[in-house]
Chain A
Amino acid sequence: MGVITDLLVTLLETVRDVLPIAIILFGFQLVILRKKIANLPQILMGFLLVLLGLAFFLEGLERALFPLGKLMAKQLTAPEFLGITENAGVISNNWAQYFWVYLFAFAIGFSTTIAEPSLIAVAIKANQVSGGAIGTWGLRISVAIGVAVGISLGSYRIVTGTPLHYYIIAGYILVIIQTIYCPKSIIALAYDSGGVTTSTVTVPLVAALGLGLSSNIPGRNPLLDGFGLIAFASLFPIMSVMGYAQLSEWVAHRAKRRQRDDRGE
């Protein structure tokens, strides 16, 4: 019984979130464009499915994955687990102490990104537009690796307490260098993949990890140091997607050259 009422509440909340978007879309369509919407029943059906789907998805996350994931983030960052004692300054320089935290950051970043619905959407579209040249899984896995590396490095930053903007600015410089050498067709998609990764599934779990780390490590202020993980998670996929494109171009190039060499002999 409880499941059904909770589900209804989530459904109403989702409707409330989607309503402004629907009003803008249909309002412009009817008032400014003054055109009948083609396949209206199909589109309304699609909207209904999206609403229902999001409500089920969010309610399920709230029931199953979030409580457990947040609890684990708390346990893994608990002072007893990390072995933090009074004179913790010495320990915090020792990265091995935090091995499980970094591994958890990596794993949770990767796995939540694979499940992220907005990334699935962009991957479907990119596959369509590129005529199949960009595989949905190739894109999703490279974005997920980017997020995983980003969150682990972000956790390392919280542990060591170095200023956030050094990392971000260094990241920007890397992105700019990669942009120069990367195949032109992937650039816009790579920049986009930074923004799509951090959404429904990733943000709550990553925020719990950041909060746990910054409130338990001595000398860190959760209000100041807890932020920044999302920024890492949106910067690193840009690099990994461009890296993926560069790598696949290089592989294709080498295969072609080898073919030519074979023919030359």
Chain B
Amino acid sequence: MTQLLKHFIYSLFESIRDLAPIIGVIAFFQLLVLQQPIPDLAGLLTGTLLVVIGLTLFVHGLKLGLFPIGESIAHDFAHKGSLFWLLVFAFALGFGTTVAEPALIAVADEAAEVAATGGMIENSLESKESYANGLRMTVALSVGFAILIGVLRIIKGWPVQYLIMGGYSGVVIMTGFAPPEIIGIAYDSGGVTTSTITVPLVTALGVGLASSIRGRNPMTDGFGLIAFASLTPMIFVMGYGMVI
């Protein structure tokens, strides 16, 4: 019991250390640069306490739950030997985790606003909503596709850099043809897709697969899934902007 308590206190300190830079930056700018008092100090302190507790619990849960399940699923799929179902799983994981992602919903709504102001679509609530939904679907499809390709790469042992360079060329070529209004949104959509739960899960999946398949190195082959998931949305969103 004391062991557990000691461990918990130790990880609490780790979380405090992780958050110290933000608190320092905010205090420095607020007090020294803007020279203003900190509003609602009590709220700030309770909030920071919540963040510290939350980060501690999350990192703990990561090691207990998300990492083991990601790896065990990868292991089981590798043993089952059914490539088809593994790829279906990869696609479903990418699509399912992205389509409901709150950050993506926010970006899609903003993008619809841009499109309406830029005259790409009608400036009505209905057409904006359908544009935002279409965009969300496009991004979710592209992430599903990315995880699928990434898993296929791990199994086949293709070097990651060739696929990424191919993707970059795709982005550059599409940039030349896509309407200028969509480019900023497209570039940003690559970054917002990967959420706090998806990242550990997908990483564990990749590393688990690479360590269960003979001849694959978990370091060189296991990582890279997230990279695909942040690259394909750019290409797909620019494509969406060209079609609409």
Contact = CB atoms under 8 A, between A and B. Distances in A.
A153 interface: no
Interface residues of B, number: 107
Nearest to A144: B21
A3 B46 contact: yes
B130 interface: no
B101 interface: yes
Nearest to A172: B168
Contacts of B72: 37-38
B13 interface: no
Contacts of B168: 172, 175-176
Interface residues of A, number: 104
A24 B96 CA distance: 8
B212 interface: no
A262 B240 CA distance: 62
Contacts of B68: 38-39, 42-43, 46
A201 B195 CA distance: 11
B7 interface: no
Contacts of B73: 25, 28-29, 33
Interface in A169-190: 169, 172, 175-176, 179, 184-185, 187-189
Contact of A194 (B49, B118, B165, B227): B227
B199 A196 contact: yes
A183 to B, nearest CB: 10
A164 B36 CA distance: 34
Contact of A129 (B184, B200, B207): B207
Contact of A45 (B38, B52, B64, B113): B64
B226 A196 contact: yes
Nearest to B225: A192
A68 B196 CA distance: 23
Interface string A26-50: 0011001101011100111111111
Contacts of A108: 22, 25
A57 to B, nearest CB: 3
Nearest to A46: B65
Contacts of A69: 26
A100 interface: yes
Contacts of B96: 20-21, 23-24
B196 A199 contact: yes
A68 B197 contact: no
Interface string B193-206: 11111111101100
A7 B22 CA distance: 22
A58 B53 CA distance: 11
Interface string A112-125: 10110110111011
Given A57-B58, A117-B55, A129-B219, A64 B44 contact: yes
B55 A195 contact: no
B30 A68 contact: yes
Contacts of B61: 45-53
B34 A188 contact: no
A196 B172 CA distance: 22
A179 B57 contact: no
Contact of A172 (B43, B172, B196, B221): B172
Interface in A220-237: 223-231, 233-234
Interface stretch (B85-93, B121-129, B131-139): B85-93
Interface string A51-68: 111111111111111001
B201 to A, nearest CB: 7
B220 A188 contact: yes
A63 B46 contact: yes
Contact of A164 (B25, B43, B183, B198): B183
A61 B46 CA distance: 10
A32 B220 contact: no
Given A60-B50, A231-B187, A115 B226 contact: no
Given A25-B93, A203-B191, A227-B188, 5 more contacts: A17-B195, A48-B61, A54-B58, A130-B219, A164-B184
14 contacts: A24-B97, A32-B89, A33-B80, A53-B61, A64-B50, A64-B51, A69-B26, A121-B66, A125-B204, A172-B172, A175-B168, A196-B226, A223-B110, A233-B191
Interface of A: 3, 7, 13, 16-18, 20-21, 23-25, 28-29, 32-33, 35, 37-39, 42-65, 68-69, 71-72, 75-76, 81, 100, 104, 107-108, 110-112, 114-115, 117-118, 120-122, 124-126, 129-130, 164-165, 168-169, 172, 175-176, 179, 184-185, 187-189, 191-192, 194-201, 203, 223-231, 233-234
* 3 shortest interchain CB distances as A-B pairs: A46-B65, A64-B47, A49-B61
